[in-house]
């Protein structure tokens, strides 16, 4: 068995990876990195080893920050200490491919460490697609104010898939008098856009903005 069912603190039956499931997820992360390394050897314009190390560091730091939760909602979702920004950085540094690789790997790692899965199909939407969408930051890697624009793209991508998941899988949690879709729109906006607004305010500070530019220049040269 790749997963088992457990009852969480709110009395919900959730799916948790077994040892075999964790090994499979770890293998998926290694497979993603192996594919990326193959591209390194195949085409030097793809990710370099140094860039892969930077992506791995972003995944690790983003995971650590995701556990510093300023507020955690009982039915999923939390306001963290800039974890989404960290996961968006590889896309801003190296482009869309690196961004998507980082986002999907981060999502897989979240399944390993802190899963909240009520339905097996939810795993794909909430973890692979929603977190993978943070890699859309790479769409703006080479434009003016690319970090802010890319971060917004990643946030909107994650929000889309989180709303989709809430609509499909969590409609029964809708507040009294609310439909599943309106509930999901408001619920997911409450934590995703709060963290995003604080993050954008931080990125707009001149010292932070200049520091981010210097970091990108150092890593990409």
| Residues in a beta bridge with 69 | 80
Q: How confident is the model at residue 130 (pLDDT cuts 50, 70, 90)?
A: very high
Convert the pLDDT of each residue in 154-164 to its tens digit. 999 999 999 99
Give 172 or 16, the one with higher predicted confidence: 172
Phi-psi domain of 69 (left: phi exceeds 0; alpha: psi -120 through 50; beta: other): beta
Please tell me the total number of residues recorded for the chain in this structure: 221
Give the C-alpha separation, 180 to 11, whole Å.
21
Task: Output the pLDDT for position 82.
Answer: 93
User: In 3-16, which positions are buried (b, 16+ CB within 10 angstroms) versus exposed (e)?
Assistant: beeeeeeeeeebbe
Candidates 132, 128, 122, 133; CA nearest to 184 is 122
């Amino acid at each position: 068995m790749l997963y088992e069912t457990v009852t969480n603190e709110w009395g919900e039956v959730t799916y948790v990876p077994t040892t075999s499931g964790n090994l499979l997820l770890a293998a998926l992360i290694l497979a993603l990195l192996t594919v990326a390394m193959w591209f390194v050897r195949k085409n030097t314009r793809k990710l370099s080893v140094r860039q892969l190390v930077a992506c791995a560091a972003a995944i690790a730091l983003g995971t650590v920050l995701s556990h510093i939760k300023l507020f955690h909602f009982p039915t999923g979702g939390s306001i963290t200490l800039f974890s989404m920004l960290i996961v968006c950085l590889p896309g801003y540094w190296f482009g869309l491919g690196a961004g998507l690789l980082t986002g999907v790997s981060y999502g897989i790692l979240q399944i390993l460490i802190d899963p909240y899965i009520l339905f097996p199909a939810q795993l794909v939407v909430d973890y692979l697609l929603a977190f993978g969408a943070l890699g859309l930051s790479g769409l703006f890697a080479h434009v003016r104010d690319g970090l802010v624009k890319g971060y917004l793209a990643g946030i909107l991508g994650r929000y889309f898939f989180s709303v989709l998941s809430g609509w499909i899988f969590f409609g029964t949690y809708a507040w009294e008098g609310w439909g599943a879709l309106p509930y999901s729109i408001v619920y997911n906006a409450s934590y995703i856009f709060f963290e995003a607004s604080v993050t954008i305010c931080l990125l707009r500070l001149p010292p932070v903005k200049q520091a981010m530019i210097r970091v990108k220049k150092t890593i990409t040269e």
